[in-house]
Chains A and B, each alone.
Chain A
Amino acid sequence: MFGLPPETAFLVFGFPALWVIYTLVFLRRSRDWENEDVTPEDRP
């Protein structure tokens, strides 16, 4: 890919892709964190 050996291509594109997946999983698993974003003005 792009003239790079496979392992280098994985280093350049694979690792960032893994972090993107990690971020997506984190966003999904932390949905309830929004509950904590209640400012005094928002409180009932």
Chain B
Amino acid sequence: MTDRIELEVIEPGIDQVAVGDIAARLAPGSDASVQRGLWYPYFRFDADCSARALFGRRGMQLNCLVDGLTGLAATAPSFCSTRDAVPRADVLPASLMPDAALLAARRYLATSLGRGFRTIADFDIRLADRGTIHKLYWLVAIDDGQVLVDSLTGGWIPMTARAA
């Protein structure tokens, strides 16, 4: 019996069957097989940002995700999340400290707002910590190579030498 753990996860849009179809269509004639799914950790923050623009203060709410392994932050469109029991062996542990994640989120948002509004301003950024959330990635073997497929967007990238 597989050891499972319950986690907050981003609902995958692409399941194992669909990812197999994608691989078959991407590399017709190649030998493609789905090797495993991996649950990748992100720190999730609800960001309430406001800035004084030329026509008064404007506020906006954004999702900010911080990569639990690399520390890279990004804003994300709204997505559906749920609690799910997933195989423990497929869950990647976060190596980033929560404090560092908070700092990365704040810095990223401040920089992005400054660029978006084209101004040097002290933006009011309130971050609500929503804990960690995991997203599923599929590892697919194609001939001698490996491809990583995002279960939400269907985007892919070769693993090449990185995971050889």
Contact = CB atoms under 8 A, between A and B. Distances in A.
Interface residues of B, number: 8
Interface of A: 40, 43-44
A44 B155 contact: no
Contacts of A44: 21-22, 25-26, 154
Contacts of B150: 40
Kindly list the 3 A-B residue pairs having the minimum CB-CB distance in the complex, ordered from nearest: A40-B153, A43-B154, A44-B25
Interface of B: 21-22, 25-26, 150, 153-155
B74 to A, nearest CB: 14
Contacts, number: 13
A33 B2 CA distance: 45
A43 B22 CA distance: 9
A43 to B, nearest CB: 4
Nearest to B13: A40
B49 to A, nearest CB: 25
Nearest to B149: A43
Contacts of B154: 40, 43-44
B22 A40 contact: no
Contacts of B155: 40, 43
A40 to B, nearest CB: 4
A39 B47 CA distance: 26
Contacts of B25: 44
Nearest to B152: A40
